[in-house]
Structure 1
Amino acid sequence: MLAGLCGPGTALTFDRSAFPASPTIDNKWFPLTPGMQYTTTGTVIGAEGTTARTVTHSVTGLTKLIDGVKTQVMWDRDYADGELVESELAFFAQTDRGVVWLFGEYPEEFENGEFTGAPATFLSGLSGAQAGIAMPAAPRAGTPSYVQAHAPAVNFLDCGGAVQENQRVCVPTGCYDDVLVIDEHNPLEPAVGHQQKFYSAGTGLVKVTAVGGDKQETLDLVKAEKLSDAQLRDINQQALILDQHAYQVSTDYARTPNAEVATDSSGAK
């Protein structure tokens, strides 16, 4: 057990028996329904200037066993000025009590269209990495911070905590009156500053802003859509290709079972 990573009382406790045999993630602040795809756009302002950013988050129909827990696979694609800079698989599972946990990330990096590696990869149970809380079951402003994940081998430690509730936020997809604000930061990298993420019940992430740090990133939700069955099958196949490539890139990843297709139906009509 890791003690106090994000302040007093933030030791990580991990209980495999708290997770169902197959992942269902229906936390109202962090729903991951296979076949849903979310697109956010914004800018990153740093010392080198301003970069336009687009991130596409696809909830695949894949599952993957990590650290004894079957997780739901998310596939994110990150574009800077229209060019792919990162393609990432992220792995989530929800306890029977509704707490969503992050079990790892495999982020491939690209430069000028060429794959350069995946040095920030971490998977719970390997190389000292441990899963953490992506979203509490019932987050409340003013409650203690929590560890979102810890991977000392890649200097990854994210701390989160709810700081506001019932906020009104307007983005291109509409205005939301029930918004929960989560503050996130990595105490190992103070120069990065803090991110604040805005979540609406039933939708999930709708906005990201920066508080301090050497890069100021803002993102707004511009599209939330349910993919067709054919589109989900295509997303599944592309994510499986990424999963297979990871075995050639990461020795830790090579120690995990292959991702599997759990569903190829989005339920779209």
Structure 2
Amino acid sequence: MAVSTVASCAAPNAGQTPATTTVAASPSTSTATPTGTSTTSESPSEAADPSELCGPGSAINFDNGAFPEAPVIDNKWFSLTPGTQYTTTGKVVSAEGTTERTVTHTVTGLTKVIDGVKTQVLWDRDYADGSLVESELAFFAQDNEGTVWLFGEYPEEFENDKFIGAPNTFIHGIDESQAGIAMQADPKVGTPEYVQAHAPSVDFLDCGDVFQVNERVCVPTGCYDDVLVIDEHNPLEPAVGHQRKFYSAGTGLVKVTAVGGADQETLDLSKVEKLTDAKLVEVNKEALKLDQRGYEVSKEVYAKTARAEVATETSGGK
């Protein structure tokens, strides 16, 4: 599952090469520190590769032929099963005060084809002090090696419960936006950072780093002993700080914390629910409305995509 997150000179489709979808090795040396972060050394004679947006070894190696015909996302850290709904709750502490946060992440029964790849549609709704501030469709697919990719987002924004637009929309292959890795097939500490997505038109660049493994975390849904910690940051906005996301095998995201930055956001997994078939049908209808509205709201980006379609109305719930 994914909590909505949060530029470069990449050329259109620069990430699309007939290469493997794993992160490429770099000529530099990467070693793990005692805290689990990775450090990189590079000789002065080695020029920086502009395609390595998150540092040496982070070039995007995307191949749209490396995905199955239908999306099956069963990565143990990032499984997306239609009809599953996750709720995370927490707060944001800033100079202006404290805001209570609730985010629902619903795996819909919809699919959407992006650059020839059929993606799974996730619907996120973000509430601040009880008011909706963002309703977002995000698009994921898992390649044949088990790596989960993020293909784009359509995030509608609200202020005082009124819709104000979706200016941060990005879709892989449009306006130089590139798909990125939401979760590696086999995350390991000490490996290079990787690009989670890159959209220069909206100044979106997220970098992921496998920070720690086998951590213990307790949240309202229980205690987890096998937790994988991913450190995320945008190198273009160092003042924002870093975000740490905690994943448990078989469950997914269980906790989010902040390191540095003005705003300190924390979220804990508070509920996991298998929707009934009737509820999934309702979710599909509402997510389709969001998809359809995107063609009017984002004429230069979203309107260039294929329309989402209902792939399943059965969640396994009663």
In the TM superposition, 1:124-203 aligns within 5 A as: 124-203=172-251
Task: Give me the whole-angstrom Cα distance separating, in 1, the residues matched to 2:260 and 2:148.
Answer: 27
1:87 to 129, 135, 138: 135
Q: In the TM superposition, what is the alpha-carbon distance from 1:189 to its structure 2 partner?
A: 1.3
Indicate the SS of the match to 2:235: coil
Q: Does 1:25 align with 2:73?
A: yes
Q: Does 1:229 align with 2:267?
A: no
Task: Give me the whole-angstrom Cα distance separating, in 2, the residues matched to 1:231 and 1:16.
Answer: 32
Task: Give me the whole-angstrom Cα distance separating, in 2, the residues matched to 1:120 and 1:47.
Answer: 24
Stretch of structure 1 that moved more, 102-111 or 7-16: 7-16
Report the counterpart of residue 260 of structure 1 in structure 2: 309
Task: Give me the whole-angstrom Cα distance separating, in 2, the residues matched to 1:78 and 1:42.
Answer: 11
Task: Give me the whole-angstrom Cα distance separating, in 1, the residues matched to 2:155 and 2:78.
Answer: 20
Task: Read off the aligned partner of 2:201 and give its amino acid letter.
Answer: A
Indicate the SS of the match to 2:65: helix
CA RMSD of aligned residues (A): 0.7
Task: Give me the whole-angstrom Cα distance separating, in 1, the residues matched to 2:307 and 2:223.
Answer: 40
Q: Does 1:37 align with 2:46?
A: no
Task: Give me the whole-angstrom Cα distance separating, in 2, the residues matched to 1:133 and 1:25.
Answer: 13
Report the counterpart of residue 48 of structure 2 in structure 1: none
Q: In the TM superposition, what is the alpha-carbon distance from 1:191 to its structure 2 partner?
A: 1.6
1:74 to 122, 146, 168: 122
Which one has a larger percent strand, Structure 1 or Structure 2?
Answer: 1
Q: In the TM superposition, what is the alpha-carbon distance from 1:52 to its structure 2 partner?
A: 0.2
In the TM superposition, 1:56-75 aligns within 5 A as: 56-75=104-123
Give the TM-score, by structure 2 length: 0.84
1:220 to 264, 268, 280: 268
Task: Give me the whole-angstrom Cα distance separating, in 2, the residues matched to 1:67 and 1:7.
Answer: 26
Indicate the SS of the match to 1:235: helix
Task: Read off the aligned partner of 1:267 and give its amino acid letter.
Answer: G
Structure 2 unpaired stretches of 5+? 1-13, 16-50
Task: Give me the whole-angstrom Cα distance separating, in 2, the residues matched to 1:91 and 1:192.
Answer: 25
Task: Give me the whole-angstrom Cα distance separating, in 2, the residues matched to 1:141 and 1:100.
Answer: 18
Report the counterpart of residue 96 of structure 1 in structure 2: 144
Task: Give me the whole-angstrom Cα distance separating, in 1, the residues matched to 2:250 and 2:284.
Answer: 23
Indicate the SS of the match to 1:91: strand
Q: Does 1:55 align with 2:55?
A: no
Structure 1 unpaired stretches of 5+? none
Indicate the SS of the match to 1:19: coil
Q: Percent identity?
A: 73
Report the counterpart of residue 122 of structure 1 in structure 2: 170
Task: Read off the aligned partner of 2:290 and give its amino acid letter.
Answer: L
- How big is each residue's C-alpha offset from its partner over 1:20-63, in whole Å with a ceiling of 9 and x where there is no partner? 11100000000000000000000001121110000000000000
1:9 to 41, 54, 57: 57
Q: How many residues get paired?
A: 269
Task: Give me the whole-angstrom Cα distance separating, in 2, the residues matched to 1:65 and 1:187.
Answer: 30
Q: In the TM superposition, what is the alpha-carbon distance from 1:140 to its structure 2 partner?
A: 1.1
Q: In the TM superposition, what is the alpha-carbon distance from 1:267 to its structure 2 partner?
A: 1.0
- How big is each residue's C-alpha offset from its partner over 1:207-234, in whole Å with a ceiling of 9 and x where there is no partner? 0000001110000000001000001001
Task: Read off the aligned partner of 1:256 and give its amino acid letter.
Answer: T
